[in-house]
């Protein structure tokens, strides 16, 4: 966490828990390519730090993330999106921007919680859906507004949204530019939990602590197995399980878990 970031904050908020805060509140945390670079760097640091067992992603101010910045970056030339003059260039801009963030989250085997404090729309909703859990304030709103600008759910939403809420509902949301209150987003499957806005941070920290207390090897292997299983056959998933238990079962964490059970105490897992 030695990097100096301009568009995000990355910090250890308490032992074993890190937090990335999208930090462009005047722009409702709309992302730019420089911001995406910083998020990818922070995600890499999270992956490399064995002391961190859970990560929270949230937004500064009133919003989580309003998607890609179409405003020109608020007058800061280093923040402006690079609008290419040739059509193929737009695809390359996506690949070096938010696509890298979504891919990094999808490949990650450590848990990530989106703490949705305000609007999460378009690419902001895709970012939230790329996390493992989405805990939303009851005042938050979620949806896909990309079509209002003639744009597409191109940050990963076309893949993520149907998996969260079903194809028909995802199409309806995108084609009609729908944005839902948090309670409706919960009903549709877009979020994991909805809590009062005043309790969002405390509730998310309780959730993150509970995950951080679990055996790190088991957490990471279980997440990896389930993520891969979403696009795999049962037979391949069982093969992955058989390989994963060869790592988990002989571990010190399993010995500690069994010993703690019989001693009627809480286990202390160290990830070995």
Q: Which pLDDT value is given to residue 89? A: 65
Q: Per-residue pLDDT tens for 50-84?
A: 999 999 999 999 999 999 887 754 434 444 444 45
CA distance 137 to 109: 26
pLDDT tens-place values along the chain, 272 residues long:
546 899 999 999 999 999 999 999 999 999 999 999 999 999 999 999 999 999 999 999 999 999 988 775 443 444 444 445 566 666 667 777 899 999 999 999 999 999 999 999 999 999 999 999 999 999 999 999 998 888 888 899 999 999 999 999 999 999 999 999 999 999 999 999 999 999 999 999 999 999 999 999 999 999 999 999 998 999 999 999 999 999 999 998 999 889 989 999 989 888 88
Return the beta strands (E) in 23-110 as ranges.
54-59
CA 213 – CA 198 distance, rounded (Å): 25
CATH code reported for the domain at 8-212? 3.90.226.10
Bridge partners (DSSP) listed for residue 115: 135
- Per the CB < 8 A criterion, the answer to whether 140 and 153 are in contact is no
Q: How far apart are CA 15 and CA 3, in angstroms?
A: 19
The ranges assigned to domains in the chain are 8-212, 216-263
When the pLDDT of each residue in the chain is averaged and rounded to a whole number, the result is: 91
pLDDT one-digit tens code per residue, 25-55: 999 999 999 999 999 999 999 999 999 999 9
**Token reading at 69:** 């910045």
């Amino acid at each position: 966490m030695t990097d100096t970031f301009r568009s995000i904050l990355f910090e250890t908020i308490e032992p074993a828990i890190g937090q990335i805060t999208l930090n462009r509140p005047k722009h409702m945390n709309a992302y730019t390519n420089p911001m995406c670079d910083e998020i990818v760097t922070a995600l890499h640091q999270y992956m490399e730090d064995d002391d961190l067992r859970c990560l929270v992603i949230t937004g500064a101010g009133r919003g989580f993330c309003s998607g890609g910045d179409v405003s020109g970056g608020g007058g800061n030339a280093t923040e402006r999106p690079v609008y290419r003059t040739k059509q193929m260039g737009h695809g390359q801009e996506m690949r070096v921007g938010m696509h890298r963030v979504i891919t990094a989250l999808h490949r990650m085997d450590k848990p990530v919680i989106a703490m949705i404090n305000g609007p999460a729309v378009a690419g902001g909703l895709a970012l939230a859906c790329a996390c493992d859990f989405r805990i939303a304030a009851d005042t938050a709103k979620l949806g896909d507004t990309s079509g209002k600008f003639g744009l597409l759910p191109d940050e990963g939403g076309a893949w993520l949204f149907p998996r969260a809420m079903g194809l028909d509902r995802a199409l309806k949301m995108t084609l009609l530019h729908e944005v839902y209150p948090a309670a409706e987003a919960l009903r549709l499957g877009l979020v994991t939990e909805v809590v009062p806005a005043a309790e969002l941070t405390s509730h998310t920290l309780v959730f993150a602590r509970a995950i951080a207390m679990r055996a790190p090897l088991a957490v990471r292997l279980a997440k990896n197995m389930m993520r891969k299983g979403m696009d795999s056959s049962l037979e391949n998933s069982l093969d992955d399980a058989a390989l994963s238990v060869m790592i988990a079962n002989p571990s010190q964490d399993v010995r500690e878990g069994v010993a703690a059970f019989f001693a009627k105490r809480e286990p202390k897992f160290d990830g070995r």
